[in-house]
Amino acid sequence: MSEGTGRDVHSAALALMIRTLDEPGVLHELTRVILEHRANITYVDIAERRRDGSTVYFELEDVADEAVGVLIGDLTTLPIVESVERAPSFARIYGKRIIVVGGGAQVGQVVIGAVAEADRHNIRGERISIDTIPLVGEENLAAAARAVARLPRAVALVLAGSLMGGEVARAVYEIREKGIIVLSLNMPGSVPEAADLVVTDPVQCGVMAVMAVSDSARFDIRRQRGRRY
């Protein structure tokens, strides 16, 4: 079982929404059945929780088409399960995620470039989504940067601010070791030295972030590391 936060964001073969009772041992029972079918869990989330029950979302791979019905049937027979529905996987709908963190004005400009470029690629059949969170303060920014490595489908981080360094730079080095691509605006502080790529114009930074993660763009981030534009 993987945590669902790796950089491999290929579409899961099977996604299930399972409505269950809300009580101890539910996940154990569900995963026991999944294990019996030798399916690999690539992502799991409690998508909804109410007094009358919970909805658990699974993304699975290594499930043959002819075995899907049997797996769903076995899950449905569990006393804790109310219903099982197939669903499109998050990877298929939202695809790769680019996270933009930093000051409000800079974040907005980066997003303009990123969304415009992502739209161009998504029209061609890719799936690239942009998430933002305006933040200030070294501790908050460092925590947000580190959290990107734990986010499902996140592949790149853009740090958009006027001054970043210290603990934020250390966080950048850490998440780059985990496979996250990091772009930074050209600003004072040690973050630009820690990032894969530094871009002065925020709109262009957003565009290049999308190009760096796109499957169809002729842009190799490995050849750009350490450069400033």
CATH superfamily of 94-228: Hypothetical protein af1403; domain 2 (3.40.50.10550)
Does 14-91 carry CATH code 3.30.450.20? no
One fold for both 14-91 and 94-228? Answer: no
φ/ψ bin of 50: left (φ > 0), alpha (ψ from -120 to 50), beta (otherwise):
beta
Report whether pLDDT(27) > 90.
Answer: yes
% of residues, the chain, pLDDT over 90: 61
Give the pair of three-digit tokens for residue 134.
């305006």
Pairwise CA distance, residues 104 & 160, whole Å: 9
Pairwise CA distance, residues 108 & 22, whole Å: 40
Delimit the domains of the chain by residue range: 14-91, 94-228
8 A C-beta contact, residue 148 and residue 135: no
pLDDT in tens, 41-66: 988 988 888 888 899 999 998 888 88
CA atoms within 13 A on the CB side of 28: 3
Report whether pLDDT(203) > 90.
Answer: yes
Name the residue with tokens 């569900």: 30
Report whether pLDDT(19) > 80.
Answer: yes
- Full-model pTM: 0.74
Residue 107 CB contacts under 8 Å (≥ 6 apart), including other chains? 100, 101, 132, 133, 134, 160
Local confidence band at 29 (pLDDT 50, 70, 90 cut-offs): very high
pLDDT in tens, 145-197: 999 999 888 999 999 988 899 999 999 999 999 999 999 999 999 999 999 99
Report whether pLDDT(2) > 70.
Answer: no
Averaged over 69-73, what is the pLDDT?
Answer: 93
Averaged over 82-104, what is the pLDDT?
Answer: 87
